[in-house]
Chain A
Amino acid sequence: MVLILSLSLPPFSVVYGLSVSPIALVSFAGDDEYTPCCEFRPNITSNYSSFVLAVLIIIFLQLFFSYFKDLVGREVTVELKNDLAIRGTLHSVDQYLNIKLENTRVVDQDKYPHMLSVRNCFIRGSVVRYVQLPPDGVDVDLLHDATRREARGG
């Protein structure tokens, strides 16, 4: 049995079972025979760029998901790609950045009469253009640190 450790994101190496970075590749032999690490190298190099792309995507999903989780309960305005802007209390968010708002009011109510009686809504993450936050909703330094940490791969 060969145990491969990686210095990149733990979930990523679990999914692919391989180390992202050839430099960080370390393998331990178990009880039985030792499999040389160079066996895995051709697989890594051929998919390396797609690995890196996937890692970057995964990093950003995690960062903003965590950030929005801390914003739950705050008043936000979500502007959608169809120009509809909805103000409401952030109830919950998920990994796809789908948003659930409570106590909603549409910003330009006269233009959207059908939304008059909607007080709670679920907004699909893919249609969000902006999420407008309260000015004190962002701790910029904390976000900078988190971004630097994520970019470093830690």
Chain B
Amino acid sequence: MSWAGPEDIYLSTSLASYLDKKLLVLLRDGRKLMGILRSFDQFANAVLEGACERVIVGELYCDIPLGLYVIRGENVVLIGELDLEREELPPHMTCVSAAEIRRAQKAEREASDLKGTMRKRMEFLDLD
């Protein structure tokens, strides 16, 4: 947009300060990707190197390696810089294998689906 004044250059929110840093990217579908930012553009499209998806279900988590990722900016919710001196996750969480986390995810999904159908049945009965 052409009418940004000269002082606005210093204030513009640029991802340049995040280049070559390990980042946490939150996506609109709830996924959490972690990787090193190699490139970006004005739409917040991003290139993540060494990307892995951190799947968290309750107290369990798993890092699934993905490789080189190009993320379309419209799906990006948040890009956070991970502080290397701090713990990335609370200590009570346990790391499990990919297969186990997928099972846990499926169980969680089924539980929420069940909750949804039970609620629908209750609403149909119109108890209150």
Contacts and interface: CB of A to CB of B under 8 A. Distances in A.
Nearest to A98: B13
A127 B25 CA distance: 13
Contact of A121 (B32, B80, B84): B80
A114 B54 contact: yes
Interface in A38-97: 58, 61-62, 69, 72, 80-82, 84, 86, 91-95
Interface in A103-121: 104, 113-121
A79 B24 CA distance: 18
Given A98-B44, A114-B54, A69 B78 contact: no
Given A121-B81, A124-B44, A116 B11 contact: no
B114 interface: no
Interface string B14-25: 010010000010
Interface string B39-56: 000001000000000101
B13 A93 contact: yes
A14 interface: yes
A119 B28 contact: no
Interface in B1-17: 1-4, 8, 11-13, 15
A35 B124 CA distance: 71
A122 interface: yes
Given A116-B86, A122-B18, A95 B1 contact: yes
Interface size classification for chain B? 35 or more
Interface size classification for chain A? 35 or more
Contact of A95 (B4, B30, B44, B89): B4
Contacts of B126: none
Contacts of B73: 124
Interface in B59-90: 61, 73-74, 76-84, 86-90
B82 A117 contact: yes
A123 B28 CA distance: 12
B93 interface: yes
A82 B93 contact: no
A117 B28 contact: no
A67 B76 CA distance: 24
A122 B17 CA distance: 10
